[in-house]
Amino acid sequence: MSLLRKIGGRFLTAAAIAVVLILSAGSSSAQNPPAPGTPPGQIQQQIDALGLRNTLRSRITAMGLTDAQVRARLTSMGYDPATLDPYLDDRVANPPAPTEGLLNALRTIGVLEVPPVELQTQPIRPDSLTSRPLAQDTSELRVFGLDVFQRTTNQFQPVTSGAVPESYILGPGDEIALVITGDVEFQYVLPVTREGFIVVPQVGQIWVNGLTLGELREQMYSHLGRVYSGVTRGAGATTRFDVSLGRLRTNQVFVTGEVSIPGTYLVSPVASLLNALYLAGGPTANGSFRDVNVMRGGRVVHRVDLYEYLLRGNNLDNIRLEPGDVIYIPVHGEQVSIRGEVVRPAIYELKPTETLLDLVRFAGGPTAPAQLRRVRVERILPENQRAPGVDRVVIDVSLAEVVRNPASAPALNAGDDVRVFAVRGEV
């Protein structure tokens, strides 16, 4: 049966299509049919809701999660823990139709891989529902790294369990667990207020906004020591304390520019730049992989080269996002293609100081059959260098010589097409 269906002369909403596409096999179980004369809109809502229930049950079972664990995930990401209860409880005969907020919650907590959708009635082309591979025609080169971020997955969500690093910066929405032992025994869960304070019973207000967890721990000696005389540094302390993070806040960040799915995203405070880029689908073919900007307060605080991640495995974990950060992806810089006897033929973005040798390294180096004595660079001449009938040139370069003497590596221009021939296929 085609996924594109009309009910009462109307197309299914984008939300209904999204739910069906998540896991269509889960929506085939038997359900009570709608009563005769039910309005088409209500039928559509029942299809959405019952399909989502079956999908949720199947997905949660596959992940080995209990209902309590699902509610805990919702709570940790700032959602009402009862958000999914109508879909988890089979005794609810008619769960409400899924909303955009509900689908975003599912996507955020990683229970289902739900793309962001707009809840409105609109026609959908049949060809948009067909599964198309990421790779284009084999004769065409793709921009290097383009398909890495466009693979739909929930495996790149930040890990929110376990210990929080001492460098974690506290802010409104966090909850701090304070445990005091020794002469006195107390345990408190202290939310950070919107003004940036925590309130410790018998101690009073303590300013924590912008402090790291390690800095807070140091300050607590003086604050607690005024009330509990046994709180001192060193082995002679008769009262000890510990501070840790309970619930983590949720940060709102913005991803814009040449990005696949620009918009606003809710991310964990321990999320890195890569987590946000995976949510947004990464740069488009027009976007830069070498100059991703993280902007804070109207100025650039980080300039990121994604080739560090794609080629060298640097996970950029030191770049932490804060509330209100803007991730801006500008138009790409100079792009050069390389094809033939290299490991990764593709289109690469080069910085002004990079040469042919850097391009070959980005491409994984030459293969065994490569002819290293002759590499051809086909170049379109700048307009001021063209003559009648002459708008292109071909430059032959000895790659073997370039490897021996890197200083001799020629610079490349935007649009250059580098070809590495095989020993027997040289022309």
Inter-CA distances, 17 with 29, 189, 228, 315, Å: 18, 43, 61, 34
Round the average pLDDT of the chain to a whole number and report it. 77
pLDDT score for 134: 32
Residues 114-128: pLDDT tens digits?
343 333 333 333 333
pLDDT score for 58: 67
> Residue 82 above 90 pLDDT?
no
- Report percent pLDDT > 70 for the chain: 70
> Residue 135 above 80 pLDDT?
no
The average pLDDT across 197-210 equals: 90
pLDDT score for 131: 33
> Residue 417 above 90 pLDDT?
yes
pLDDT score for 318: 73
pLDDT score for 35: 55
The average pLDDT across 228-234 equals: 84
pLDDT score for 41: 58
Residues 266-316: pLDDT tens digits?
888 878 888 899 999 999 999 999 999 999 989 999 999 999 999 998 877
pLDDT score for 409: 92
Residues 10-64: pLDDT tens digits?
444 444 444 343 434 343 333 445 555 556 555 556 555 666 666 666 666 666 6
> Residue 88 above 70 pLDDT?
yes
Among 16-30, 65-79, 175-189, 354-368, which is the least confidently predicted range?
16-30
pLDDT score for 126: 33
Tokens (6 digits) for 91: 């005794």
Residues 137-163: pLDDT tens digits?
335 899 999 988 876 554 445 544 556
pLDDT score for 29: 39
Among 153-167, 238-252, 383-397, which is the least confidently predicted range?
153-167
pLDDT score for 40: 57
pLDDT score for 14: 41
51 within 8 A of 20, measured Cβ to Cβ = yes
pLDDT score for 362: 96
Among 8-22, 68-82, 378-392, which is the least confidently predicted range?
8-22
Asked whether the whole model's pTM tops 0.75, one would answer: no
> Residue 190 above 80 pLDDT?
yes
The average pLDDT across 403-413 equals: 92
